[in-house]
Amino acid sequence: MTKMNELEVLIELGLSPVEARVYLTLLQTGSTRVGAVIRKTGFHRGTTYQVLHRLAEKGLVSSVVKGKKQFFEAANPDRLGDMLKEKEAQLDEILPGLKAKAGVAGEKQEVAVYYGTAGIKSVLDKMLFELGQGGKYCDFGVSGLFKKMLPAYWSLWQKRKKRLHISSNVIFNEDVRFEHPGLLAEYVGKRRFHPKEFASLTDTMIYRDTVILFIWTALPPIAIIIKNKENAKSYQNQFELMWKNAKR
C-alpha cells in the first residue's frame, strides 16, 4: 500500500484540497496575516478568506487582532483527532437505530459502511450500475455537500444519470436554492425543497431494496448502505409524505 502524504491524509479526513493546503501553510508559518497565506498558496484573496472562515468553523484555525491587523493561526493538529472522534460518536449514536431496524425486518438485512471520498464514489458507482437503464431513485436531505466535496465527480455523476435515462425525485434543503444555483443547474431530475426548519445534513437515497445514508460532515465522510426490502419501503413511504408537503 502506497503511503499517503500529509495533504492526501487531510483530504481523506474530509478537508477540501484548498482547506488542506491553507491549514498546512498555517502550520508551517505560525501566526501570520492573510497576505503570507496568499503568497504561499497562490490562492485569490477572496478564496483564502472563505477557506479560513470554513477552517475556523471546524475549529482548525483561530484569529486575533494585533494593532488593528488580523493574524491567523492553525489549531493544534490534535484537533483533527478530536473531530474524528466526534464523528465516530455520531455514528455510534445512530447505529442502535439501524440495528433495531435490522431486528424488526422480516427478511435478511445487510448493512455496510464505507469511509472516505473513494469509498463514497464506489457506492455511487455501484448505485448507477444497479439502477441501470431507465432506473429511478428518491433522495431527501440534500444540502449541496455532495457537490461541494466532490465537484468534478458530482458533474460526471449527473451526466451518467442522463445517459442512462435515470429519473430522480430529490428534496433539497431550501438554502440550496439560494446558495448553490450552479448545483441546481447541473442536477438531472425532478426537485422540491425542504422548508428551512426541516433541513438535514444527512443525505438519504432510496432505490429498489436499498437505502443509502450519506453523512458528509463526518471526518472522513461516511456512506451507510442498508439493503432490505421492507426497510426501503418504509423509507419510500416517508419520502412520499415529505414529497407531497415539500415546496416546489
Q: Which residue has the higher pLDDT, 196 or 42?
A: 42
**pLDDT the model gives residue 2:** 54
CB-based burial of residue 93 (10 Å sphere; 0-12 exposed, 13-18 middle, 19+ buried)? Answer: exposed
Among 211, 215, 197, 42, which Cα is nearest to 120's?
215
- Residue boundaries of the structural domains of the chain: 6-75, 85-245
Q: For 56-65, 114-123, 152-161, 222-231, which range has the lowest pLDDT when averaged over its residues? A: 56-65
**pLDDT the model gives residue 7:** 83
Q: Which residues lie across from 115 on neighbouring strands?
A: 222
**pLDDT the model gives residue 23:** 92
What pLDDT band is residue 176 in, cutting at 50, 70 and 90? confident
Alpha helices (runs of H) in 105-199, residue ranges in sequence order: 116-131, 145-149, 151-164, 176-179, 181-186
Q: How many beta carbons lie within 10 A of that of residue 248, not counting itself? A: 6
DSSP letters for 22-37: HHHHHHHH-SB-HHHH
Q: For 81-95, 181-195, 210-224, which range has the lowest pLDDT when averaged over its residues? A: 81-95
For 7-58, what is each residue's pLDDT tens digit?
888 888 788 899 989 999 999 998 899 999 999 999 999 999 999 998 988 8
Q: Please give the Cα distance from 203 to 192 (Å, whole number).
A: 14
**% the chain with pLDDT above 90:** 51
CATH class for the region spanning 6-75: mainly alpha
**pLDDT the model gives residue 108:** 65
Mean pLDDT of the chain: 88
For 97-141, what is each residue's pLDDT tens digit?
887 776 655 556 788 999 999 999 999 999 999 999 999 999 998
**pLDDT the model gives residue 135:** 95
CATH superfamily of 85-245: Endonuclease Chain A (3.30.870.10)
Mean pLDDT for 218-229 is 91
Asked if the model's pLDDT at residue 1 lies above 50, the reply is no
Is residue 185 a contact partner of residue 196, using CB atoms and an 8 Å limit? no
What pLDDT band is residue 67 in, cutting at 50, 70 and 90? confident
**pLDDT the model gives residue 101:** 73
